[in-house]
A and B are shown apart, each in its own frame.
Chain A
Amino acid sequence: GQQLNQSPQSMFIQEGEDVSMNCTSSSIFNTWLWYKQDPGEGPVLLIALYKAGELTSNGRLTAQFGITRKDSFLNISASIPSDVGIYFCAGLHAGGTSYGKLTFGQGTILTVHP
């Protein structure tokens, strides 16, 4: 199966800094999802994006659905220690043999130093 290219793979930041991560693909997607996974737990949905160009916020989190429908980014402002975890993007394929399938990025491991 296809995978999304998510970057960076890991980030080490100081508390209070802003964070940005993104996902790109050669495929077109109908929906972009961003999840956070705490250690030893299942992912939890943070933000869902349904339209090209859409910009959506959830507290300190902001995500955008790229105009080309092939990419998305997630920003976290003023990071705090509890932001630590793995962040995944996932895209719902818009066509081809993968139509309707959900593909996940490799994840970005975020570490926040107090």
Chain B
Amino acid sequence: DGGITQSPKYLFRKEGQNVTLSCEQNLNHDAMYWYRQDPGQGLRLIYYSQIVNDFQKGDIAEGYSVSREKKESFPLTVTSAQKNPTAFYLCASSINNVQETQYFGPGTRLLVL
């Protein structure tokens, strides 16, 4: 089945640790996105990538880093510089840059211990 997978479903981070969230898609989509979701707020864009080996900062990129070495994969690293990392993280992909065709993964919930 085609789709987007995110792992793990839940992730715990200790203070000062970097953690990496996985996102894989087999939809052959060119563009991939990372969003952060907090209670009572809409999705906020962290980073996006329109093509392999290229990515752009979104509205809240500070404390996060990404890579796009393969078309299918767009991992997100939450660094120790992100002071409030507890949130639900959603990955999405779309056909080229047609954002209205975005498909979302099931999400990863990150909790800080």
Majority DSSP secondary structure for residues of A touching B? strand
Asked whether A4 lies within 8 Å of B100 as measured between CB atoms, the reply is: no
B106 in contact with A102 (CB, 8 Å): no
What sequence of 0s and 1s flags, for each residue 8-44 of chain B, a beta carbon within 8 Å of any chain A beta carbon?
0100000000000000000000000000000011111
Which A residues are in CB contact (< 8 Å) with B44? 1, 104
The range of chain B's interface size is 20 to 34
Q: Across the interface, do A42 and B92 meet the contact criterion of CB distance under 8 Å?
A: yes
A107 interfacial contact with B, CB 8 Å: yes
Task: State whether the Cβ of A7 lies closer than 8 Å to any Cβ in chain B.
Answer: no
For chain A residues 68-111, which have a beta carbon within 8 Å of chain B?
88, 90, 92, 100-107
B80 on the interface (CB 8 Å rule)?
no
Give the residue of A3, A4, A9, A44 whose beta carbon is less than 8 angstroms from that of B104. A44
In the complex, residue of chain B having the shortest beta-carbon distance to the beta carbon of A3: B42
Provide the residues of chain B in CB contact with A104, threshold 8 Å: 42-44
A103 contacts B99, CB within 8 Å?
no
Query: Is A24 at the interface (CB under 8 A from chain B)?
Result: no
Q: How large is the interface on A (under 10, 10 to 19, 20 to 34, 35 or more residues)?
A: 20 to 34
When the two chains form their complex, are residues A42 and B42 in contact, meaning their CB atoms are under 8 A apart? no
Contact partner of B100 (CB less than 8 A), chosen from A31, A44, A88, A107, is: A31
Q: Decide: B97 and A100 in contact? CB cutoff 8 A.
A: yes
C-alpha spacing A1/B59, complex, angstroms: 6
B99 with A42: CB separation less than 8 A: no
A92 B106 Cβ-Cβ under 8 A = no
How far, in Å, is A44 (CB) from chain B's closest CB?
Answer: 7
A residues touching B (Cβ–Cβ < 8 Å)?
1, 3-4, 6, 9, 31, 33, 40-45, 48, 88, 90, 92, 100-107
